[in-house]
Amino acid sequence: MDPMMTPARSWLFVPSTRPDRYAKAVTSGADRVIFDLEDAVAPTEKDDARRHLASTKIPQRVPGYVRVNSALTSWFENDLAAVATLPVRGILLPKADSAAHVEQAASRLPDTFSIVPIIETAAGFWNVLEVARARRVERLVFGALDFSLETGMHDENGAFNYVRSQIVLASKVAGIAPPVDSVSLSIDDPALLQREAARSRHFGFAGKLCIHPRQLQTTNEAFRPTTEEVEWATEVLREVAARPSDAVFAFRGALVDRPVIERARQIHTLAEGVPRR
């Protein structure tokens, strides 16, 4: 299916060292599952993690990806060799500083594989449009935690507003799917998660990375149009259908023109395409 059209709200990490969790992850309600070879795996366990991926049946219920180690590490080549034989949609590429890093991965993977670069360094952000336009890029991910660690900036009081907006705009200019926002570390505060996911949606992100199954329901709901939005869009489109043309008209005291009509259609399409689970 076209990644531009399929739901991509919740991306759940599962350590590749835990094959007992693979099946649970794909039936958890996540839209995508990420089998992690990077941060969730200690340096001494990288080889074992690859062997687990190779020897364990990976369920196909939802699209699967593997987060490999970055092109700057000694594990990169072995990760790609192992992933190339797996029944997954593609990889998440950490610390994608340039299009050259994406090309290194693309040249070692089957043509059917998508690449999802993670923008989490100053260099990666500086080169974000170049990365977004690289070969076989499906969408971008914002890695706010590593970005904060490297730059000394903190994701509070709007400090990352510019970063988020630029990642979304670069994705649009490059013609790729909308990006995915960073993880929320809290797993027992759904109100906080809802606020952070709503912020992500407000900036134009399609979803968020998730570190625990308890985050999935809140995340999925946050990226679904609200009941009020769906009702508004339905009424606008009903009014449009009753008119002889798409001429400007007033609706509930507000002007409705072509961009407003297109927004109503987007909401309707998203609501129809993303069922509640």
For 221-231, how does the pLDDT look when each residue is reduced to its tens digit (9 = 90+)? 999 877 787 78
pLDDT band at 16 (very low <50, low <70, confident <90, very high): very high
SS3 category, 61: coil
Whole-number Å distance between alpha carbons of 183 and 165: 17
Radius of gyration of the chain (CA): 20
Q: How confident is the model at residue 120 (pLDDT cuts 50, 70, 90)?
A: very high
Average the pLDDT over each of 9-18, 21-30, 148-157, 225-234 and give the range with the smallest value. Answer: 225-234
Of 69, 72, 74, 73, which Cα lies nearest the Cα of 91? 69
Residues 6+ apart with CB under 8 A from 35: 14, 16, 22, 53, 58, 64, 65, 66, 67, 88
Which of the 8 DSSP states describes residue 222? H
pLDDT at 276: 45
In the chain the domains, ranked by start, together with CATH numbers, are: 10-222 (3.20.20.60), 227-273 (no CATH)
pLDDT-based confidence at residue 246 (cuts at 50, 70, 90): low
Who wins on pLDDT, 129 or 236?
129
* Mean pLDDT confidence for 249-265: 81
Question: Any residues with CB less than 8 A from the CB of 248 and at least 6 apart, and which?
Answer: 255, 256, 257
With cut-offs at 50, 70 and 90, classify the pLDDT of residue 277: very low
Determine the average pLDDT of the residues in 124-139.
Answer: 98
Is 96:131 a contact under the CB 8 Å cutoff?
A: yes
For the chain, the average pLDDT equals 92
Q: From residue 71, give the alpha-carbon distance in Å to each of 86, 126, 178.
A: 19, 18, 24
- Please determine, for residue 78, whether its predicted confidence score (pLDDT) is greater than 80: yes
CB-CB contact of 146 with 121 (8 Å): yes
Band (3; pLDDT cuts 50, 70, 90): low
CA distance 1 to 7: 10
**Which residues lie closer than 8 Å to 178 by C-beta, 6 or more apart?**
8, 139, 168, 171, 172, 204, 205, 206
